[in-house]
Amino acid sequence: MDVFDQTSYRIRFEWGAEGVRRLAPRSQVVVIVDVLSFTTCVDVAVSRDAVVFPYRYKDDSAIEFAQSVGALLAGKRGQVPSLSPDSLLSLAPHSRLVLPSPNGSTCTVIARESQVPVLAGCLRNAQALSEFIHRQYPSAAVTVIACGEQWPSGMLRPAIEDLIGAGAILSHFDPAELSPEAKMAAGAYRQVARDVSATVAECSSGRELAAAGFPEDVALASELNVSRTVPIFEDEAYRRAR
């Protein structure tokens, strides 16, 4: 047994792409959490009945791929549409969107290689997603992945917004079923639950986005349990779970 696989517990928590590689093959459901901004974008878009195709970041083949699936290609932040949740509020219903991302997209694709259901979670849909798992996968082994960010070197930078986003989801499960790692994430969320918005705004990632001119993205991503949408990855894209 791999001492890092947390298989003594039904509900697990881990970080980043390597965490997905290690735990997804030993899981029956994987939840991807990238609050600023991939999974928040997915929630906003899928809430409008859009179909969202994750794609590799800064890959020129994305243009050809978008054409092949008849989809819009998200541009740089500041364009419409883009990896900016605010830019997707005006997305036409039933749109098809290719959404490149360095963290959430990568973790999604890796998770799907294990042929397990993959869900997109964020602060906005934390309760709805937890309830969906309780209904549809009541005894499944579930891994929640906080994607994190990247340092300029490409190394994982653990991101507090993803920790509390994952914790918001995990807080709806029986503590007896949580691994120690999952309990710590749930505890981190409970520590800031009364003022999640301020925490996200004041953390490094939130201040980075605000300084770049996108405070509205931070505000939108920190809204707690305002969405009833559960995006599930099917046929190479995220769609609204029925």
**CATH of the domain spanning 11-240, picked from 3.90.190.20, 3.90.1560.10, 2.60.40.10, 3.40.50.280:** 3.90.1560.10
Which pTM was predicted?
A: 0.97
The pLDDT, as a whole number, for residue 57 is 86
pLDDT, tens digit, 9 for 90 and up, residues 13-45: 999 999 999 999 999 999 999 999 999 999 999
Percent of the chain with pLDDT over 90: 95
Domain boundaries, the chain: 11-240
Name the token pair of 171.
């807080």
Residue 3's CB: how many other CB atoms inside 10 A? 6
The pLDDT, as a whole number, for residue 196 is 98
Between 57 and 136, the higher pLDDT residue: 136
Mean pLDDT over residues 159-180, rounded?
98
226 DSSP assignment? -
The pLDDT, as a whole number, for residue 2 is 79
pLDDT > 90? residue 3: no
pLDDT > 90? residue 233: yes
pLDDT > 70? residue 1: no
Mean pLDDT over residues 183-203, rounded?
98
pLDDT > 70? residue 156: yes
Residue 14's CB: how many other CB atoms inside 10 A? 25
Mean pLDDT over residues 192-202, rounded?
97
Name the token pair of 72.
């819009």
The pLDDT, as a whole number, for residue 58 is 81
* Rounded Cα distance, 200 and 80, in Å: 24
* Rounded Cα distance, 173 and 122, in Å: 16
The pLDDT, as a whole number, for residue 85 is 98
The pLDDT, as a whole number, for residue 61 is 94
pLDDT > 90? residue 68: yes
What average pLDDT does the structure give for the chain?
96
* Rounded Cα distance, 106 and 121, in Å: 15
* Angle at alpha carbon of residue 127, lines to 185 and 83, rounded to 5°: 80
Nearest Cα residue to 227 out of 160, 169, 158, 144? 169
75 DSSP assignment? B
pLDDT > 90? residue 242: no
With contact defined as beta carbons under 8 Å apart, do 120 and 107 qualify?
A: no
**Residue 222: pLDDT band with limits 50, 70, 90:** very high
pLDDT > 90? residue 59: no
Q: Where are the alpha helices (DSSP H) in 49-125?
A: 61-68, 104-112
Phi/psi zone of residue 88: left (φ > 0), alpha (ψ -120 to 50 degrees), beta?
A: alpha
Among 1-10, 118-127, 181-190, 195-204, the minimum mean pLDDT is found in 1-10
pLDDT > 80? residue 47: yes
Name the token pair of 107.
């973790």
* Rounded Cα distance, 125 and 142, in Å: 17
